[in-house]
Structure formats: structure tokens, C-alpha cells
């Protein structure tokens, strides 16, 4: 996975008012955690961070105050529920060669068997352990020709070298369901009951 370089500044103002002022300047407040060190409160450029976070588990090379360079991955991202802009981000400090636990998106490919079956994502993301600098962007699973009752477990998914499951290997990731018959609208059902009573 490629690194995305982002410049960050330490911040000394906290609270909702300070966060609002930071966001007004098109910046994002955040915190860098990890390796037993005290949490570091930072301010990030909003647009650059938004673009970087389009990649799940992106590896961010932080230039902090033009002095220290650190590697980090997103731990928690808060977005405005209506407008989608970033409100706050927590980053986890990592080192090259270090293993980290992350969730990677599961992408299904292929067509289910004919019959109007539905594919249910029991897990949208697969918990894995991987080297911080080699986190896969996603795992792809073939569902070609599967019928109702079929399921794909964590152990059935092929992972890249150096990546291991961080979830029970028998955990169901995807399953195929039979399509449900459409229910009659409430009005029609009520009329049918009245007719039966009459």
C-alpha cells in the first residue's frame, strides 16, 4: 500500500468551540495515539485528509510541525451525518514491520445462480492482522453460481501473504438467501379480511 503524506500541526485549543473554529478554516481536529505515548492533539488539512481516507486503512506519513515524521493508520473517523464532511479523526501510530489488527472491506464478485437469490453481507469487513505497511485494500470473494443456503466462511477467503485472520475461521462472511415473496400492501390485506368476514 502506498503512503499518503500529510502535514499536521499540534494544537493547544480543545473543546467544541475550538473544534468549530478549526473546521471553519477547512481543517480537521484529530488525535494521534499509540505505542504507550501520550495522545498527541493535531490539526489536519481537511481536503487532503478527506482524499486520503477514501482508501480504507490508508497508511499516512505525517509531517508534524515540519519536525517529526510518523506513520499512522485511521482508527476512528467521525463525519457529519448529513453533509459527510470530516468532524474528527483518531489515528493510530504504527512502525514499519509492526503487525496491526484492521478490518478490510469484503467485495463480492460474480453472479449468483438464477432464481432471484439475495446475497447477505454478514460481515462487511473482515478483521485481519497484517503488517502496517502491507495492509490489503480489500479482499475479493467469488459468489459465482451460488444458491440459497450457501455461505462463505472466513476460512474460505484467500488472504495475501503475511495477512492472517483476526476472527473465528468459522465466522460467516457472506450467505445466500432465498428471495422473500412480496407482502401485499396493508390496504389490500385488510380488504381481503373484511371480505372473508362478510
Q: What is the pLDDT of residues 59-107, one digit of tens each?
A: 999 999 887 788 999 988 888 788 777 888 999 999 988 899 999 999 9
67 class by beta-carbon count within 10 Å (0-12 exposed, 13-18 middle, 19+ buried): exposed
Number of domains present in the structure of the chain: 2
Answer yes or no: do 142 and 165 share one domain.
Answer: yes
Q: Classify strands 172-177 and 118-121 as parallel, antiparallel or unpaired.
A: antiparallel
Whether 172 is in a domain gets the answer yes
Instruction: Give the pLDDT confidence score for residue 121 in this predicted structure.
Output: 95
In order, the DSSP letters of 78-107 are: EE-TTT--EEEEEEEEE-TT-EEEEEEEEE
Residue with C-alpha cell 449468483?
Answer: 112
Residue 183 forms part of a structural domain:
no
In this structure, is residue 192 part of a structural domain?
Answer: no
Largest pairwise CA distance in the chain: 84
- CATH code of the domain containing 168: 2.170.120.20
pLDDT at 2: 66
Neighbours of 111 (CB within 10 A): 9
Tell me what pLDDT residue 15 has: 73
Could you say which of 78, 94, 110 is where a domain stops?
Answer: 94
Q: How many residues does the chain have?
A: 198
Residues 87 and 8 in one domain: yes
Q: Is residue 115 part of a domain?
A: yes
Do residues 79 and 151 both lie within one domain?
Answer: no
Query: What is the span of the domain harbouring residue 147?
Result: 100-177
Residue that is written with C-alpha cell 502535514 in the block: 7
Q: Are residue 126 and residue 146 in the same domain, yes or no?
A: yes
pTM of the shown model:
0.71
Q: Which residues of the chain, if any, have pLDDT below 50?
A: 184, 189-190, 192, 195-196, 198
**Of 57, 54, 64, 56, which Cα lies nearest the Cα of 5?**
64
Judge if 105 and 76 occupy the same domain: no
CATH number of the structural domain spanning residue 78: 2.40.240.10
Please tell me the predicted confidence (pLDDT) of residue 185.
52
51 and 106 part of one domain = no
- Same domain, residue pair 89 and 105: no
Q: How far apart are CA 81 and CA 84, in angstroms?
A: 6
In a domain, 196, yes or no: no
Q: Are residues 109 and 63 in the same domain?
A: no
Spatial distance between the Cα atoms of 166 and 21, rounded to a whole number of angstroms: 39
Are 8 and 56 in a shared domain? yes
Vertex 157 angle, CA 151 and 158, to 5°: 155
Amino acid at each position: 500500500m502506498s503512503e499518503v503524506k500529510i502535514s499536521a500541526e499540534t494544537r493547544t485549543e480543545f473543546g467544541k468551540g475550538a473544534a468549530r473554529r478549526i473546521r471553519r478554516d477547512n481543517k480537521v481536529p484529530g488525535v494521534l495515539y499509540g505505542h504507550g505515548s501520550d495522545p498527541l492533539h493535531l490539526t489536519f488539512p481537511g481536503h487532503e485528509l478527506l482524499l486520503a481516507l477514501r482508501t480504507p486503512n490508508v497508511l499516512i506519513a505525517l509531517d508534524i510541525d515540519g519536525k517529526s515524521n510518523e506513520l499512522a493508520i485511521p482508527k476512528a473517523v467521525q463525519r457529519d451525518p448529513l453533509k459527510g464532511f470530516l468532524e474528527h479523526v483518531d489515528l493510530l501510530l504504527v512502525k514499519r514491520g509492526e503487525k496491526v489488527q484492521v478490518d478490510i472491506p469484503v467485495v463480492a464478485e460474480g453472479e449468483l445462480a438464477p432464481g432471484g437469490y439475495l446475497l447477505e453481507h454478514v460481515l462487511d469487513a473482515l478483521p485481519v492482522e497484517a503488517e502496517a505497511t502491507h495492509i490489503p485494500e480489500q479482499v475479493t470473494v467469488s459468489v459465482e453460481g451460488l444458491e440459497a443456503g450457501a455461505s462463505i466462511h472466513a476460512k474460505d477467503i484467500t488472504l495475501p501473504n503475511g495477512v492472517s485472520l483476526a476472527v473465528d475461521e468459522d465466522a460467516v462472511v457472506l450467505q445466500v438467501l432465498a428471495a422473500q415473496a412480496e407482502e401485499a400492501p396493508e390496504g389490500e390485506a385488510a380488504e381481503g379480511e373484511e371480505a372473508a368476514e362478510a
